[in-house]
Amino acid sequence: MKRRDDMDKKELRRSQLDLLKAISPLEYEQKCFEIEQRFFRSDFWKNSEVVAVTVSKPPEVNTWNIIKRGWEEGKTICVPKCMPKTKELIFHELNSFQELETVFYGLFEPTPSITKRVHRDSIQSVIVPGLAYTEKGYRLGFGGGYYDRFLSGFNGHTLSLAFSEQLVENLPLESFDIPVAEIITENGRIHCE
């Protein structure tokens, strides 16, 4: 039987996704632009040479321009690959969108045979994805527990990009949940620590 918190989370995921899907295309573009602009001005971005980021899929905040800007600025951009059996997340250096492949869930992942693996210790900063966040930086993800596992033992900087619609009063918290240090929305920056 599923635990009560898991059921809550499942419902929360569904309702957050519905909320995000209801953002109109023009509003989506504008908010993504504002989040991006604020992000590029942040110390997080300026001080990170090796950055881990997901390849976004709507209705998530768009990360494609961040990847491109990173390449322009000579940063090392690492993107995640899921290991479904162990629920482990590994990162590979991405230098072209053509190095991506679709493995499952309609998500883009690095093609392992043509990209170099980057170990966790070499990653300075991680942009952590999620569906909902509290102002303390706690996060509801897609449910794999991939980032919770990756972040336990990660000592670098963490940040999430979110629409203000993704900020919630509270979330069902569990012992393994690791908060992100800051959140950038179209309206401002939240310092969580």
Ligand X SMILES: Nc1ncnc2c1ncn2[C@@H]1O[C@H](COP(=O)(O)OP(=O)(O)OP(=O)(O)O)[C@@H](O)[C@H]1O
160 binds, among ligand FFO, ligand X, none (CB under 5 to 8 A by kind): none
3-state helix, strand, coil in the chain (%, to 5): 35, 25, 40
| Rounded Cα distance, 51 and 124, in Å | 6
140 binds, among ligand FFO, ligand X, none (CB under 5 to 8 A by kind): ligand X
Hey, which residues does 185 pair with through a beta bridge?
188
Within residues 99-138, the interface with ligand X by CB under 6 A covers 130
User: Is the Cβ of residue 32 or residue 128 nearer to ligand X in the bound state?
Assistant: 128
What minimum distance in Å lies between the beta carbon of 53 and ligand X? 14
Kindly state whether residue 147 participates in binding ligand X, applying the rule CB under 6 A. Answer: yes
Kindly state whether residue 48 participates in binding ligand FFO, applying the rule CB under 6 A. Answer: no
The two tokens of residue 34 are 């504002």
What minimum distance in Å lies between the beta carbon of 150 and ligand FFO? 9
Residue 12: phi and psi, rounded to 5, are: -60, -45
Give which of 131, 126, 141 is closest to 177, Cα–Cα: 141
148 binds, among ligand X, ligand FFO, none (CB under 5 to 8 A by kind): ligand X
Q: What is the DSSP letter of 115?
A: S
Can you tell me which of 144, 152, 187, 188 binds ligand FFO, judged by CB under 6 A? 144
Annotated binding site for substrate: 55, 60
User: Would you say 191 and 182 are in contact if contact means Cβ atoms under 8 Å apart?
Assistant: yes
Within residues 121-140, the interface with ligand FFO by CB under 6 A covers 129
Within residues 1-30, the interface with ligand FFO by CB under 6 A covers 10
- Residue sitting closest to ligand X (CB): 141
Rounded (5°) CA angle 68-179-102: 40
